[in-house]
Amino acid sequence: FETIMHKAPHQQQQQQNQQQHQQNDTQEQNHIGENAVGNSWLSTILPPAPSTSPAVRAPESFDNSASNTPLHNHISSPLKPVNLLPDMPVQHGSRRLTDKEQKDCDVIERLIKSYFYIVRKSIQDSVPKAIMHFLVNYVKDNLQSELVTHLYKSERAETLLNESDHIAVRRKEAADMLKALTRANHIISEIRETHMW
C-alpha cells in the first residue's frame, strides 16, 4: 500500500509536467502567430514553422485544417482547371485561422483566379489576331511579288513563253478557216455584181 501511495504522487507530477509542456507549446505557437501577424498580413496565410517536439500534437488539428480549407466554388470556370502542382502536405501542428484571415485568404484566392481567367481570355483573343497579322496579311501583301521574283529567276522562262503544240494546231486551223471564209466572201461578191441578162 505504501508503494502505491508512493507512486501516485509521482504519476500526478508527471501529468502536471506534461500539461505544463503542452501549455508552453501552445503559447509558443500563439506567439509565433502573433509575430507573423505583426510582420505582414500575407505571412498569416502561410502556416507557422513545425514544432520541434513531435510528441505534442493537437487532436483537433486535422478536422480544423479540413474545415478551414477554402472551397473553389466561388468563381465558375468554363473548363475544369488542371492542377500540375504536387499536393501540399497537411501540417497537423498549424494553428487555426481567424475569420478575418479566412476572409483575406478567400479574397486573395478569388483575385488570383480572376487574374488568370483574364489572362487566359486575353491570350485566346490575341492568338487569332497574331496569326492574322503575321501570317495572313503578310502572305497577302508579299505573295505576288514573291511569285514574280521566282518566275523571272527561273531558267524555264523560255519554255514557259513558247507556244504549246495544241495551241499551234488550233491557230493553224483558225487561219485556214479565215482564208476559206475570205475566199467565199469574194466569190459571193463577184456573183452579185454579174448580170445574168
Mean pLDDT of the 137-148 span: 92
User: What is the tally of structural domains in the chain?
Assistant: 1
Residue 56 lies in a domain: no
Percent of the chain topping pLDDT 70: 55
Residues in the chain: 197
The least confident of 103-117, 164-178, 182-196 is 182-196
Quickly state the pLDDT bin for 70 (edges 50, 70, 90).
very low
| Least confident segment among 74-88, 100-114, 132-146 | 74-88
**pLDDT for the residue numbered 100:** 92
Tell me 73's DSSP state.
-
The band of 83, judged by pLDDT with boundaries at 50, 70 and 90, is low
Instruction: Answer whether residue 157 is part of any domain.
Output: no
On whether residue 20 sits in a domain, the answer given is no
Q: Tell me the average pLDDT of the chain.
A: 73
Q: What pLDDT does 191 receive?
A: 82
The burial class, CB within 10 Å (0-12 / 13-18 / 19+), for 89 is exposed
Distance of CA 124 to the CA centre of its chain: 9
Output phi, psi for 122, to 5 deg: -65, -35
| 189 falls within a domain | yes
Predicted TM-score (pTM) of the model is 0.32
Of 85, 30, 94, the closest CA to residue 62 belongs to 94
154 located within any domain: no
What is the distance between the alpha carbons of residues 51 and 95, in angstroms, rounded to a whole number?
Answer: 11
Q: What is the mean pLDDT of residues 137-149?
A: 91
Q: Domain for residue 168, yes or no?
A: yes
Residue 151 lies in a domain: no
**pLDDT tier at 10 (50, 70, 90 boundaries)?**
low
Q: CB–CB of 29/51 below 8 Å?
A: yes
Residue 172 confidence (pLDDT) above 70: yes
149 pLDDT exceeds 90? no
Q: Which residues touch 95 (CB under 8 Å, ≥6 apart)?
A: 29, 30, 33, 47, 48
Asked whether residue 183 is domain-assigned, the answer is yes
Residue-number span of the structural domain to which 173 is assigned: 164-197
